[in-house]
């Protein structure tokens, strides 16, 4: 990858040997290793057995999870917040595992629509809850820095499974909670 970064620097008219750029290929490789670490992550290892028997039936919501990803079309960042909820089916998951699952899929080349669904289906598979809901709101630098150059546009995506898809009251409760945060 470092050799390819040198080629990119040369192709845009830069001197890869100048002081400020000498270590750039190493830094870019290190950055991309981190930003694409989701390809090497394993959900089972991330969850690490943190699933617990619990007879609770109320909605579990982790709101405002910061997420950063790379647009697969331009390799530019998009960033925002994910809201993830589930309705337990006699099992709950350690709450820190939900943001970790978001990171697994965000740290890949992505489109926001697929990212939203991957998070929802991973929670569904790991926990087998009565339902899962995921909403992501993000800003895309590919729209802000280039192309249409719209600074204030945001993309919202959602995926509703099980009770969140079938029951409008459950869906409305989730949407109200992510809007207001109050019960």
Catalytic positions? 71-74, 112, 140, 142
Query: Tokens at residue 112, please?
Result: 């926001």
What one-character-per-residue DSSP string does 49-67 give? T-EEE----S-EEEEEEEE
Handedness of CA 141, 144, 149, 150 (dihedral sign): positive
b vs e for 7-40, b when ≥16 Cβ sit within 10 Å of the residue's Cβ? eebeeeeeeeeeeeeeebbeebeeeeeebeebee
Q: Cα-atom radius of gyration of the chain, to the nearest Å?
A: 19
**Phi/psi of residue 86, each to 5°?**
-145, 160
């Amino acid at each position: 990858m470092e050799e390819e970064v040198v080629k990119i620097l040369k192709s845009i008219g830069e001197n890869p040997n100048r002081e400020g750029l000498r270590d750039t290929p190493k830094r870019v490789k290190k950055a991309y290793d981190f930003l694409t670490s989701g390809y090497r992550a394993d959900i089972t290892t991330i969850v690490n057995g943190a699933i617990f028997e619990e007879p609770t039936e109320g909605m579990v919501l982790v709101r405002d999870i910061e997420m950063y990803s790379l647009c697969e079309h331009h390799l530019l960042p998009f960033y925002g917040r994910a809201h993830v909820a589930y309705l337990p089916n006699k099992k709950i998951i350690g709450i820190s595992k939900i943001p970790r699952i978001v990171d697994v899929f965000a740290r890949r080349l992505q489109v926001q629509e697929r990212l939203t669904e991957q998070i929802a289906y991973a929670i569904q598979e790991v926990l087998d809850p009565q339902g899962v809901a995921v909403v992501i709101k993000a800003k895309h630098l590919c729209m802000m820095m280039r192309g249409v150059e719209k600074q204030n546009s945001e993309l919202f995506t959602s995926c509703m499974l099980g009770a969140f898809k079938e029951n409008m009251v459950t869906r409305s409760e989730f949407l109200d909670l992510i809007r207001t945060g109050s019960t």
